[in-house]
Amino acid sequence: DILRCKRPCEAVFHKKCVKNVECFIQKEVCEECQKRDSPGSSSGRKPKDRIEIDQDDLTIESLLQEVNTKISATLWNSTPNDIKKIIEFKEDTEKKYKALENKNIYLEKQNMALEERILQLEQKEKDKNVEIKGLEKKKDEKIMEIAINMSKILNLKSEEIADARRVGKEKEISGNIYQPLVITCRNKAYRDK
């Protein structure tokens, strides 16, 4: 049920796992060794690349060390272009990372400036507001009319009123506290009168 390659690889195969059992039995050589030995093979391995094992000094540690040495030598000898590509990719990635980092810093600063600008504009709008507390709320009240009437009482021009509304949650505490009425003037100077 088990077949063993007679070449230095000494690979062991199950009969059902071998593609061409008859050829394997005749030559007693696995497919990989046949490919390696055939002329014009693409593996590029030379007989000198094979690992020679000293049977007298055979330990797992020495075998592993020898295999690691051969693998590392093979990697470094056969992949200088790959290493160059990896280094170029790393440098390109670092450049992109730095550019993104700079863009992120710029956008954070711009975002902070915009937030400050929004706060200034909101404060500027609030500076145009007049808040009146304690004004009784009636059913179906017309807030704009109330604001115009208040401007007449104060001898101010009704055209300078931009908006009027009640703000906050609607609640009545002890019967006499209502939502404040906020009148927005067209400019701060009018509000200051």
Handedness of CA 29, 31, 33, 39 (dihedral sign): positive
- The string of pLDDT tens digits covering residues 45-74 is 444 555 565 566 667 777 777 788 877 776
Highest mean pLDDT among 77-91, 108-122, 147-161: 108-122
Q: Tell me the pLDDT band of 32, cut-offs 50, 70 and 90.
A: confident
At 53 the pLDDT is 58
Q: Assess contact for 50 and 33: CB atoms under 8 A.
A: no
Residue 122 lies in a domain: yes
User: Which one is predicted more confidently, 128 or 91?
Assistant: 91
User: What is the domain count for the chain?
Assistant: 3
The DSSP code for 145 is: H
- The string of pLDDT tens digits covering residues 139-153 is 888 888 888 888 888
172 and 158 share one domain:
yes
Q: Tell me the pLDDT band of 115, cut-offs 50, 70 and 90.
A: very high
137 and 174 share one domain:
yes
> What is the secondary structure of 76-138 as a DSSP string?
HHH-HHHHHHHHHHHHHHHHHHHHHHHHHHHHHHHHHHHHHHHHHHHHHHHTTEEEE-SPPP-
Residue 63 lies in a domain: no
Residue 17 lies in a domain: yes
Q: Which domain holds residue 156?
A: 127-192
At 42 the pLDDT is 47
Residues 35-52: what's their mean pLDDT?
Answer: 55
Residue 76 lies in a domain: no
98 and 135 share one domain:
no
144 and 113 share one domain:
no
